[in-house]
Amino acid sequence: MNFADVRYPIETPPAPGKTIEVAPGVRWLQMPLPFSLNHINLYLIEDGDGWAIVDTGIRDEGVQETWEEIFANEMDGKPVTKVIVTHMHPDHIGNAGWLCRRWDVELFISRTEFYHSRGVMAEQDRGFSKVAMRFYHRSGLDQKVMDEIRDAGTGNYKRTTELLPFGYRRLLDGDTLRLGDRDWEVITGSGHSPEHVCLYARDLDVLISGDQVLPRITSNVSVHPMEPEENPMKFWIASHHKFKGLPSTAYVLPAHNRPFYGLHDRLDYLIHHHEDRMEALEEACMEGQIAVDLLPVLFERELDSFQMMLAIGECYAHLHCLMDRGRMERTIGEDGIYRFRTAGAARTEPHDEAEHDRPDDAPMMV
């Protein structure tokens, strides 16, 4: 399995302030992002006498100005009818509040994503709580990086996200959302965020996938201090199997990179990728290891403190999944740092030694 299994029908993304029609009644646009990821894909869906927006870009003056250009030039003079958000990360939800107020329309989102976002926005402890610092200390992170993480707190999220509307319209797995004369099925996944919404139009065989399925980069799957014993990898892998229930022919409109074909191949690759990383962690933990020393097993690049925070979360995600499967044991030392050791003295099953390509920019944290 490699990246050749993914096909991109469109070579050149839309220019800033422009859209490209990617399916009947569906237009693709991009907004800039201030990190290495550099852009997010957003979509407009024809909705009767107007347009429903799917995802919104981070809160930023330049992004809002670009939205105004889209309103003026790319929507045939019609208004916005709905704001739909796939999940609570700032590049997706950042302008939702502004757009809902700008057009006096409702926000459509899953319940967990709505309240999770509201919870982070309401966080008062800019210095992060003792709970968070204990969480990172247990990984073995050095004090300097912990200080930087503590000082940032939840400030980055608040800076890049507008206040949400008071109310919202709940999107629930299995629902059908009627937009114009077309039905879109609501399908949720979990792992990258808790209740991530995707939309599938069966008559078009088009899936708007957000960060749930990306063609090239690997979505971040992290344990967070807020829920330090969670097992998101279990749900992430289960979600990939669930999305394989859609046709392999689906045209996938993702939040990063370009629209693509190859849904099943990509899902198989991602499942294999995480299983492979977990096997690598098992091999690295035969003698017992602390989490921070396991980061090179998962990440080839140098990491800054923000990336380090996500990387520790991702490392825990793989380790917790192994613990849940009875393949990893955890103890805590007198220094308050966890040691992870592979369960059992020897493997009982041979494992797949096949190497596969990894994208040179992976894993990217979205």
Choose the binding region for Zn ion from 54-62, 88-96, 156-164, 239-247 (rule: CB under 5 A): 88-96
Q: How far is the CB of 192 from Zn ion (least distance, A)?
A: 6
Choose the binding region for Zn ion from 57-65, 84-92, 141-149, 287-295 (rule: CB under 5 A): 84-92
Q: Which is nearer to Zn ion, 222 or 289 (CB)?
A: 222
Q: How far is the CB of 87 from Zn ion (least distance, A)?
A: 6
- Alpha carbons 291 and 363: distance in angstroms, whole number: 17
Q: How many amino acids of this chain bind Zn ion (CB under 5 A)?
A: 3
Asked if 153 and 159 touch (Cβ cutoff 8 Å), the reply is no
Q: Which is nearer to Zn ion, 255 or 322 (CB)?
A: 255
Per-residue binder mask for Zn ion (CB under 5 A), 171-210, x = binder? ----------------------------------------
Q: How far is the CB of 160 from Zn ion (least distance, A)?
A: 12
Choose the binding region for Zn ion from 81-89, 197-205, 292-300, 319-327 (rule: CB under 5 A): 81-89
Q: Which is nearer to Zn ion, 54 or 366 (CB)?
A: 366
Q: Provide the token pair at 189.
A: 């996944």
Q: Which is nearer to Zn ion, 59 or 89 (CB)?
A: 89
Q: How far is the CB of 217 from Zn ion (least distance, A)?
A: 11
Q: Provide the token pair at 295.
A: 């980061």
Exactly one of 27, 89, 240, 258 binds Zn ion (CB under 5 A); that residue is 89
**What is the greatest pairwise CA distance in the chain?**
68
Choose the binding region for Zn ion from 82-90, 101-109, 122-130, 338-346 (rule: CB under 5 A): 82-90
Nearest to 298 by CA among 186, 222, 194: 222
Q: How far is the CB of 91 from Zn ion (least distance, A)?
A: 7
Asked if 121 and 163 touch (Cβ cutoff 8 Å), the reply is yes
Does position 211 interact with Zn ion (CB under 5 A)? The reply is yes
**Residue nearest to Zn ion according to CB distances in the complex:** 89
- Alpha carbons 226 and 83: distance in angstroms, whole number: 28
Angle between helices 232-243 and 305-324 (to 10 degrees): 80
- Alpha carbons 286 and 281: distance in angstroms, whole number: 9
Q: Which is nearer to Zn ion, 211 or 314 (CB)?
A: 211
Q: Tell me, what DSSP letter sits at residue 30? A: E
Asked if 197 and 210 touch (Cβ cutoff 8 Å), the reply is yes
Q: Which helix (H) or strand (E) holds 276?
A: helix 263-284
Q: How far is the CB of 173 from Zn ion (least distance, A)?
A: 18
Rg (CA), the chain: 21
Q: Kindly tell me the sign of the dihedral angle through the C-alpha atoms of 338, 344, 345, 350.
A: negative
Q: How far is the CB of 113 from Zn ion (least distance, A)?
A: 10
Q: Which is nearer to Zn ion, 207 or 366 (CB)?
A: 366
Q: How far is the CB of 244 from Zn ion (least distance, A)?
A: 21
Q: How far is the CB of 256 from Zn ion (least distance, A)?
A: 9
Q: How far is the CB of 264 from Zn ion (least distance, A)?
A: 22
Q: Which is nearer to Zn ion, 50 or 363 (CB)?
A: 363
CB atoms within 10 A of CB 35: 12
Q: Which is nearer to Zn ion, 285 or 365 (CB)?
A: 365
Q: Provide the token pair at 231.
A: 């097992």
- Alpha carbons 324 and 93: distance in angstroms, whole number: 32
Enumerate residues 147-166 that contact Zn ion by CB under 5 A.
none
CB atoms within 10 A of CB 280: 14
- Alpha carbons 271 and 279: distance in angstroms, whole number: 12
Q: Which is nearer to Zn ion, 164 or 292 (CB)?
A: 164
Q: Which is nearer to Zn ion, 213 or 281 (CB)?
A: 213
CB atoms within 10 A of CB 12: 7
Would you tell me which residues interact with Zn ion (CB under 5 A)?
89, 211, 366
